[in-house]
Structure formats: C-alpha cells, structure tokens
Structure 1
Amino acid sequence: MFAEAKANGDRQLIEFLVYLAMEAGYLEKVDELCNRYCLAGLPKVQEREASLLRQRFLKINELVVDDIIWVDELNGLGEATCHIEGSKVVGLDCEWKPNYVKGSKPNKVSILQIASDKKVFILDLIKLYEDVPDVLDNCLTRILQSPRILKLGYSFQCDVKQLAQSYGDLKCFKCYNMLLDIQNLFKDPRGGLSGLAEKILGAGLNKTRRNSNWEQRPLTQNQLEYAALDAAVLIELFYRVRDNSHTANSLVGNEKIEWKSHIVSHMDNPKKSRKESRHRKELNVEDN
C-alpha cells in the first residue's frame, strides 16, 4: 500500500493507518498491519471488531442460493451464460481493487457477479478478458442486452460506466437492456444497499470486505460470499417489492410500487428499444 510505504515503519503513522483502514471497513488490511507491526493491543481496533461481531448481518446461506460458482475459463463461461439466459430475473454487481493514490485512475473492474434464483456466478473479468475477450464480449452482450432477462442492480448504471472504462474495446458494456435499479424504487435511498436490506429483510450487509484486494487470486471465502451476497440480495429485495409486502410499502408511504415504470435501457439501436418496450409490457414476472 502506498501510504504504508510512505510511513516508512514509523509506529505512530502505522497506527494512524490502522485506524483509517478500520474506518473504511478494510479489516483484512487492519489484520495484516497489526500482525506485521505487532499492533495487536490497539484498543480502538479491538472495540471496533467487537462492535462488528455484535451486529446482525445477512448471510448468503439465508437466501435461496445453492451454489457460488467461480468462472475463469471458456467452458465455465459458456455454462454460466446458458444458465443465465434461462433465467427471468438476475442480480448484477461488480468489484474492483480500491486505489488510495489521490488523483489516480480507478483500478480495472476485477469481477462481475451475476445471480439467478439459485446460483451466483462470479466472473473473473481480468483473466477472461486476457484469455477469451471475444467470447466474453459475446456472452455478456447476450445477457446485458437481452430483452427477456430483467437485470437488477443497485446504482448499476455507475458500475456499467466503470466497466466500460475498464474494458473499452468490448461492446457489451456500451449498451444494456431491461435494467431495474432497485434504489430508484424508494423515496429515501439513505443507507445504501445495506440499509435497504436491513429495512426490508431485517438484517443489513457486512460491508467490511468492500475495500479488500479484489485482484488477488484466489479470492478468500469471505470475499466470495460477500460478492455473491451483493448480487443475490437484489433478487430477494425485488421479490419483496413485487409481492407488495407490508415492509416494502412502509418505505414508500403505503403506495403501490410501480416497478415496471423504473426499467431503463441504454440502446444504440432504436428498433431494439421498441422491442424492449414490448417485452416490458408482456413481462411474465408479474405482480401478484
């Protein structure tokens, strides 16, 4: 880490870095620094870790997810694409390594998570782009531009821009179809995805892995579960909204949530946009 190098072993500066990493939720870096510089006795670190242990967080095994599948080669990508194309609703999210150098460009997006009702596929974008860029482009185009698959995200339009900047020569990230941003369904988006999960599902998301190193391979089990949960929880939230639950209603003043009106697309071809509009009207993910 750049800041650690600048600290040059100064204990006071290293302790300050530990507290900054703790505030950012970068617990893996906290543990690494504490072990490297023998800082296990820092009281605020211990208090923060104890506080996190007391909090109630949603876990991936509480959702209907059978498998978390790592995808980093051709056959796995093909199998994932076939499964996703058979789904009516999927959740999308992505992760990249944080960059702490002021003024520098963000790091390339490392992974893309795509969740169906039963499975979460975690695509190693860095490796797939290096090995099979054309196949990756084709598969993700089939998913992201499909008018038959409802894609759920949370501020995913911003993620799409980051994806397009990371992989500028791929066409798949330049257009998307049938995207529903969950945060746009609610009048008060404060608290982010974790806050929304806590309000609707009764437990928030543990975001302490958000700033971890997403370029390391293999990812840790905690990283995999964190990444999978961020995509899978979108499907659970959507079904709660679609089913017009009392909890969801309370967040919008007991108004019926007209989720179909929030579906958006960014298409280069106007004929495709008209086709998407027709599919939206015919969408068989119906309200009860």
Structure 2
Amino acid sequence: MARSLHWELKQTHSPIGFDLEWRPNFIKGTPSNRVACVQLADHSNVIIVQISGMRTLPEMLVEVLQDKRLMKVGVGIAGDVKKLNKDWDVNVENVLDLSTLARECDPYWNEEDRRKAEARKALAAEQAKIGMLAAGPNKAEFMKDPMAAPNSEDLEPTVEQWTGPSIGLARLAARCLSVTLVKNKKTVTSNWERPLTPLQIEYAANDAAVAYDIYQMLNYKKSLNLISFLSPNDA
C-alpha cells in the first residue's frame, strides 16, 4: 500500500492530507507519548501507518515525508511535524497549514478573527473597569492604567490575533465542504498503540482525507480570486 501510494504521488506531485495520532497522557507533568499513527491521504488513497510497535519508520513512509515535491497539508501541522521529529527523528519537508491558506483566500476567517479579538478586548476593558471600581479610590495603579487589571495580560494585540490561532479542522470542513466532522471524545482520547478499532480507523482516515479535500477547495477558491483580479486585457 505504501509503495503504491508513493508511486502515485510521485507521478502526480499531488498534495497530501497529513495527520498524526498518539495515546494521550492523563498524568500531569509527565511527557507525552510517542506518535503512534501517521495518516496520509491523496485524491484516491488513505493510508494509516501504525508505527507504535516499530523500532524505525518504514523506508517508504520516510521517503514520502521527506519528499520536497509532495506538499503535506493539515491543521496545526507545524506542531505535528515538530513532534514527529522529536519522537522518531524524521524531518517532514514542504508543509502548509490550512489555516494560513484559508485566511489568504477567504475573508470570512479574518473577519471572524477580528470580531473575536474585539470582543475579547471589550471584555478585558470591562473587567478592568470592574477591578478599578472594586479597588476603590486609593488604588491609583488601576486609575493610571485600567488595562493593567487582572486578566488583561491574556489579551493579545488585535492584529496578531487576526493572523494567529489555528482554525480547527471541523470548522474548516463545515465552511469549505459543508460537512460535519464528528470528533468523538472517546475515540480521540483512546489508545492508539493497540490494534485499531473500526471507529479509530474511520476517525484517523477522515482527518487526513478531509484535510486533503479542504486544501483542494481552498486552492480552487484561491485560483478564482486570482482570476477575478485579472483585467480583460490580461485574460
């Protein structure tokens, strides 16, 4: 399967939906468990490689991950790539976070980020005002800077917020594909190192496949945006 997938990808230079799974650690202060599964998807294939019982990664999998011609797409992919490198000493080349692409070609996300940032700013200002009133006239520090009240340090600058947080895969799927991506908590927090159940396989496969589909839709929308900017003479 891995050999077949790599052969097809090498021929088409298709992007790959990419995701990881690992067994959660519920003990606070202890390191996270190693990556247990790697999921890859293209236009017609989804492959789940359960690596938890292996000493080293399969050669074909490493070739796919390190192939600079093959773009890997996902949500929060920088963190996944970093963890895979830490756990299995493999560098994943040519990655793209779908959040970045979504903000480039769909104004909806920047507008939503702006509204949320402004709502947080208004809430922090209200909390500051309440803190100032509760402190009384003798607490001059609140009078000097209302935004220095408790919790205001959690407020990030509005501009940074517009370009910052990752957009969840489920939200992107709803917006781009009009589908509901079910995130069953029991499956998410299950043991990915044991033989995979049908529910685990479906969940893992969906994440990679949906990531691929979202990329295709966003890339198509981006191409339409570029076309709309062309003048009649350019066309």
Contact 1:196-1:204 at 8 Å conserved across structures: no
Asked if 1:157 is matched to 2:78, the reply is yes
Instruction: Compute the TM-score of the two structures, normalised by the length of structure 2.
Output: 0.62
Asked if 1:85 is matched to 2:26, the reply is no
Gaps of 5+ in 2: 104-109, 114-164, 228-235
* Distance in 1 of aligned mates of 2:166 and 2:33: 26
| Partner amino acid, structure 1, of 2:209 | A
Contact 2:67-2:93 at 8 Å conserved across structures: yes
Tell me how large the CA RMSD over aligned residues is.
Answer: 2.5
Whose relative contact order is higher, 1 or 2, with alpha carbons under 8 Å and at least 6 apart?
2
Which has the higher Rg, Structure 1 or Structure 2? 2
Q: Could you report, residue by residue, the CA deviation over 1:141-174 in whole angstroms, capped at 9, with x for unpaired residues? A: 3212223212212111101111122223xxxx23
Match runs of 1:131-150 below 5 Å? 133=56, 136=58, 138-150=59-71
* Distance in 2 of aligned mates of 1:77 and 1:191: 30
* Distance in 2 of aligned mates of 1:179 and 1:149: 9
Asked if 1:166 is matched to 2:144, the reply is no
Q: Secondary structure at the match of 1:126?
A: coil
Q: Could you report, residue by residue, the CA deviation over 1:229-269 in whole angstroms, capped at 9, with x for unpaired residues? A: 10011121111112118xx99xxxxx659xxxxxxxxxxxx
Match runs of 1:180-191 below 5 Å? 180-185=96-101, 186=103, 187=110, 188=113
Q: Percent identity?
A: 32
Contact 1:155-1:181 at 8 Å conserved across structures: yes
Asked if 1:234 is matched to 2:180, the reply is no
| Partner amino acid, structure 2, of 1:242 | N
| Residue of structure 1 in register with 2:46 after alignment | 120
Instruction: Compute the TM-score of the two structures, normalised by the length of structure 1.
Output: 0.51
Displacement of 1:196: 1.2
* Distance in 1 of aligned mates of 2:46 and 2:197: 16
Q: Secondary structure at the match of 2:25?
A: coil
Change (3 A) 1:225 1:160: same
* Distance in 1 of aligned mates of 2:3 and 2:220: 33
Change (3 A) 1:238 1:77: closer
| Residue of structure 1 in register with 2:202 after alignment | 225
Gaps of 5+ in 1: 1-75, 250-254, 258-288
Q: 1:179 aligns with which of 95, 115, 124?
A: 95
Total equivalences in the alignment: 164
* Distance in 2 of aligned mates of 1:158 and 1:204: 24
| Residue of structure 2 in register with 1:264 after alignment | none
Q: 1:95 aligns with which of 8, 21, 39?
A: 21
Displacement of 1:228: 0.5
Q: Secondary structure at the match of 2:208?
A: helix
* Distance in 1 of aligned mates of 2:94 and 2:199: 31
Change (3 A) 1:99 1:122: same
| Residue of structure 2 in register with 1:280 after alignment | none
* Distance in 2 of aligned mates of 1:84 and 1:211: 31
| Partner amino acid, structure 1, of 2:25 | N
* Distance in 2 of aligned mates of 1:256 and 1:103: 48
| Residue of structure 2 in register with 1:212 after alignment | 190
